[in-house]
Amino acid sequence: MLKPLQRPSRPLFSSGPCAKRPGWTPQNLDISVLGRSHRSKPGKDKLAEVIERSKRLLGIPAAYRLGIVPASDTGAVEMALWSLLGPNPITVLAFESFSDGWASDIVNELHLPTKIRRAGYGGLPDLGGIDKADDIVFAWNGTTSGVRVPHGDWIADDRTGLTICDATSAVFATDLPWHKLDVVTWSWQKVLGGEGGHGMIALSPRAVDRLTTYQPAWPLPKIFRLAKGGKLIEGIFKGETINTPSMLCVEDQIDALCWAESVGGLGGLIARSEANLRLVADWVAASDWADFLAEDPTTRSNTSVCLKITDSWFLAQDQEGQERVAKEITVLLDKEAAGLDVGAYRDAPPGLRIWCGATVEHGDIETLLPWLDWAYATVKHAHATPVLSGN
């Protein structure tokens, strides 16, 4: 197969940190607060700006609190688990690496009795019949499987338990049903292409009530504390962060949020991601060797698009052989600067993962796809062609 002539202008398809927004340069950033305390008025104003712009862009209800917390999405989820779980029964939906990790932490670290509904990579657990009294822990979009929850209709409006949603690969790419969600977490480095290390946590009034009326039986580290003495620590939700944030990252996030507003806000971001997904879907429909890992088209992620290899030659390889082939494809694409960081997550089935979020340009996805065909054909040919020895 002939090597494609054109390469993506930005061959950046990592699922985190994700591509910066189009046109980004360091010179775009306002560095006037660098070197100032994050507790100074200019510092707190910048942090509050991230909170307010995020709430407005996402359509978060006015009664919800939104705060910046340490340790990216992982820190935000763990903060919710350790601070809120305990008084109600628990159901966890585990269908990829991170949601499986939340289940493990609840069972093995918090030692709480937990009902776990599992599905393998590519599937989604049964969403029906969850007890209204249960606290539900789940990821809206499985970053490592490319499977997302299609809607929130399965969550009862009259529930007495809380819903704790890891939305890090869904927020800014999905119109989330906020009235169905009591805790929503994400990080800056996903859909808006921000920098790592900072998390966001949104709390419904019901979650705030739990925080102020329930005291966990275990000690809470300082970086997990959202309430003190039966009262919410309100400063967290006004820009008074628990620990010291990077003000350079804060400026970068403000830049990303301003760009998001300029492309049509949430609707514009979703449209960009969906258009990228459609390109991949059209390519998959014509492919003789690749398919979506997500089994149900209604659950396909529009950000972390995961592909499996379906060619009979590939499937005839053992696990080690399949992993080697998939690795060689990603190495070849990297060497050609045609597609960087497109390998499947380490715990996922051997395959490819292409970030299609809003910061990735439509034309770059379009240009990448012929390179996938070329890379697979090249690797297959190298393995399938017998080596002839001379006499």
What percent of the chain lies above the pLDDT cut of 70? 98
Query: Is 387 domain-assigned?
Result: no
pLDDT at 384: 80
The values of phi and psi at residue 185, to 5°, are -125, 150
* Domain count within the chain: 2
Could you tell me if residue 388 is inside a domain?
A: no
pLDDT for position 280: 98
Taking the complete model, does pTM exceed 0.85, yes or no? yes
Coil, strand or helix at 129: coil
Q: Tell me, yes or no, whether 321 and 230 share the same domain.
A: no
Query: What's 344's domain CATH number?
Result: 3.90.1150.10
Instruction: For the chain, give the mean pLDDT.
Output: 97
Q: Could you tell me if 312 and 184 lie in one domain? A: no
The stretches in the chain having pLDDT less than 50 are: 388, 391
Q: How many CA atoms lie within 13 A of 243 on its CB side?
A: 14
From residue 11, give the alpha-carbon distance in Å to each of 7, 169, 206.
8, 20, 43
pLDDT at site 391: 45
State whether 128 and 230 are in the same domain. yes
**Residue with structure tokens 């051997």?**
350
Query: Alpha-carbon distance 187 to 171, whole Å?
Result: 9
DSSP state of 93: E
Q: What is the pLDDT of residues 94-133, one digit of tens each?
A: 999 999 999 999 999 999 999 999 999 999 999 999 999 9
Q: Are residues 166 and 284 in the same domain?
A: no
- Please tell me whether residues 97 and 231 are part of one structural domain: yes
Residues 218 and 132 in one domain: yes
Q: Mark whether 271 and 251 lie in a shared domain.
A: no
For residue 260, how far is the Cα from the chain centroid?
17
Mark which of 261, 288, 304 sits at the end of a domain.
Answer: 261
**Partners of 90 in beta bridges:** 135
Residue 81: closest CA among 191, 179, 189, 221 = 221
Residue 46 lies in a domain: yes
Q: Which domain holds residue 113?
A: 28-261
Do 300 and 257 sit in the same domain of this protein?
Answer: no
List Cα–Cα distances, 143 to 13, 21, 77, 291, in angstroms.
13, 20, 15, 17
